[in-house]
């Protein structure tokens, strides 16, 4: 399996989630590519069997670079994907993230949100149990 993980992260919490996920997915003999949305300019992602998009909630939406990237994607028909959202307030922004992919005829396999705790701005905001949550997400992506 080939995976492409696209993320945007300010303080590194989301990046940590994506990097941890890449190790989990890579273990099953798969190829995993990580792309930073701050750097990726194109509209066509590298070919993969499955895509994961990870972004934080900021100012009641998702950061602009990530919004633009998700909205602008081309050639994603029938592609499978998963979503990751980190957020500090009660509400998660997974539905909003999904909207940016709507109309692309993609197939969602799983989604997961992480509510941040103390230490977020130092990249240490992930709460106890996050690894288990991520394991469950990875299982859904890979079919267990
Ligand atoms: C400028 C700014 C605005 C934010 N706005 C929100 C928000 O509207 N809702 C929310 O739940 N969290 C908000 N947060 C908290 C972020 O979701 C949190 O910093 C992020 O999930 C941490 O992930 P990261 O380390 O990958 O950036 C905000 C953070 C910043 C810096």
Q: What is the pLDDT of residues 109-125, one digit of tens each?
A: 999 999 999 999 999 99
pLDDT at 144 over 80: no
Each domain of the chain, given as residue ranges in start order, spans 2-142
Mean pLDDT taken over the chain: 97
- Cβ pair 111, 90 in contact under 8 A: no
* Helix H or strand E segment including 17: helix 13-27
In contact, 70 and 102? CB cutoff 8 Å:
no
> 2-142 — its CATH code?
3.40.50.360
Q: Whose CA is nearest to atom 20 of ligand 1?
A: 56
The response to whether residue 88 sits with its C-beta less than 6 Å from ligand 1 reads: yes
Single pTM value for the model = 0.98
In the reported structure, the alpha carbon of residue 87 is separated from the centroid of ligand 1 by a whole-number distance in angstroms of 5
């Amino acid at each position: 399996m080939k995976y492409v993980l696209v993320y945007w992260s300010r303080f590194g919490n989301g990046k940590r989630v994506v990097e941890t996920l890449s190790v989990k997915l890579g273990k099953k003999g798969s190829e995993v590519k990580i792309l930073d949305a701050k750097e990726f300019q194109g509209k066509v992602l590298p070919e993969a069997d499955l895509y994961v998009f990870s972004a934080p909630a900021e100012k009641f939406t998702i950061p602009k670079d990530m919004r633009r990237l998700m909205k602008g994607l081309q050639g994603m028909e029938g592609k499978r994907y998963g979503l990751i959202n980190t957020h500090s307030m009660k509400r998660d922004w997974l539905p909003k993230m999904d909207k940016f992919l709507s109309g692309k005829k993609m197939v969602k396999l799983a989604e997961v949100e992480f509510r941040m705790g103390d230490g977020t701005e130092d990249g240490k905001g992930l709460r106890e149990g996050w690894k288990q949550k991520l394991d469950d997400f990875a299982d859904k992506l890979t079919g267990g």
